[in-house]
Chains A and B, each alone.
Chain A
């Protein structure tokens, strides 16, 4: 769904589209600030380089 190059805005748009499909446009709008926050968190998780010493 996401990769390192995906921006927070793109992530937000993707998640909003998914929310509209699942819950309808009105509810997606109500969830917008939560979704924006989630996009920031997902972006941070996907772009921060984490080294796993115990994995090859």
Chain B
């Protein structure tokens, strides 16, 4: 058994059955990190002594058949904007390069309570915006892994950990998941606490998780959620609305044709698949989003930016400065129209259980100067609909292509069940050959 090849579900079962030792597991992941991370650069900080000490505690407990929770002994990666007690948390910025929080983010506490071991902190773009970090895509090191949860996605794809957490303000979980051939889930915002997470834009920020199967992200969700996720099964076949229009205009021909091929495959496998028409308010998605984003980012960063303007890179700097030009009435009008946007968009779920779009514009772009375009994900983040990304094909360049499903607010149980049904049809098995 190669422990690093196990999915989270498999590893959790192996630990529970006594066939995988948590110490052996973390040592195998350390070896993987030693072998690969000088090229992938997914990790900012890994405190091996503390990880090993925690693995030993988990092992002793497992030997006594005491299991803290469903993640007992599972090492996970934590995006470097989630505070971790006594473990450096840099936000991807030199301003915080030596910052050591005195407490854990609430989401990290929940993971630890479920038995997870914090393997380390993963690279984020600077303050979780668009200025990239050094991380490369394990499928092809000449390509971006996406962002802002760059390190979390690359670490899971490269088998350096079975799962990781990230955050999404526009498309920072779904896009890297797609670029790295992973499954991701971004639940409805109120499901997972953002206490102890450095904000980018308060009302848009969401926590999310990345794994290698729907079952993996389901376990993570159950561990992290603030209130129980109800299992929901569909009485009949799942009804899927394929959203083309705006999303196909922004996708590559290859991404469009692979998405259509998947829609046909699902229709032939018992799903009800029809075209979904977006409501008129969708035309305002970008202006609403950009106005809220600019205002909130400016508000988050104003004081730090005034004190240390030289520490800000161009994309975030421009966002802050333009946000500082807005007034309260503009921001509030955008917030007010957002409520209407969410309500109107949710009417699509009267007819569909899930809305299907490409998860990214295409495969991961070449180079690491940009993390790609979040345009496929941002409209759903704005609506605060839970979204799931699944890998389903390889592009002609050998890099993965993902599909994205959005579900009704707070109905993650339904989305997960649909995701499992789709996953079994897709049967995506490829992995990077590092």
Contact = CB atoms under 8 A, between A and B. Distances in A.
Interface string A11-31: 000010011001100010001
A41 B321 contact: no
Given A50-B281, A50-B337, A22 B287 contact: no
B321 A42 contact: no
A31 B327 contact: no
Contact of A41 (B286, B324, B329): B286
12 contacts: A1-B327, A1-B330, A19-B325, A34-B318, A35-B325, A41-B287, A45-B330, A45-B334, A48-B284, A50-B284, A50-B337, A52-B339
A55 B325 CA distance: 28
Contacts of A51: 340
Given A31-B318, A45-B287, A52-B336, 15 more contacts: A19-B321, A22-B321, A23-B321, A27-B321, A31-B322, A35-B322, A38-B294, A38-B322, A38-B326, A41-B286, A41-B291, A45-B334, A48-B284, A50-B337, A51-B340
Q: How would you classify the secondary structure of chain B's contact residues: helix, strand, loop or mixed?
A: helix
A34 B337 contact: no
Contacts of B329: 1
A51 B334 CA distance: 14
B321 A38 contact: no
A45 B290 CA distance: 11
Categorize the interface residue count of chain B: 20 to 34
Given A31-B318, A52-B340, A44 B287 contact: yes
Interface in B316-375: 318, 321-322, 324-327, 329-330, 333-334, 336-337, 339-340
A14 to B, nearest CB: 9
Contact of B333 (A23, A27, A46): A46
Q: Which of B291, B325, B334, B336 has the most CB of A within 10 A?
A: B325
Q: How would you classify the secondary structure of chain A's contact residues: helix, strand, loop or mixed?
A: helix
A52 B290 CA distance: 21
Nearest to A27: B321
Interface of B: 281, 283-284, 286-288, 290-291, 294, 318, 321-322, 324-327, 329-330, 333-334, 336-337, 339-340
Contacts of B336: 52
Interface of A: 1-2, 15, 18-19, 22-23, 27, 31, 34-35, 37-38, 40-42, 44-46, 48, 50-52
Nearest to B337: A50
Contacts of B337: 45, 50
Contacts of A15: 325
Contacts of B339: 52
A52 B340 CA distance: 7
A2 B318 contact: no
Nearest to A17: B325
Contacts of A22: 321, 324-325
A44 B325 contact: no
Given A2-B330, A19-B325, A50-B340, A42 B281 contact: no
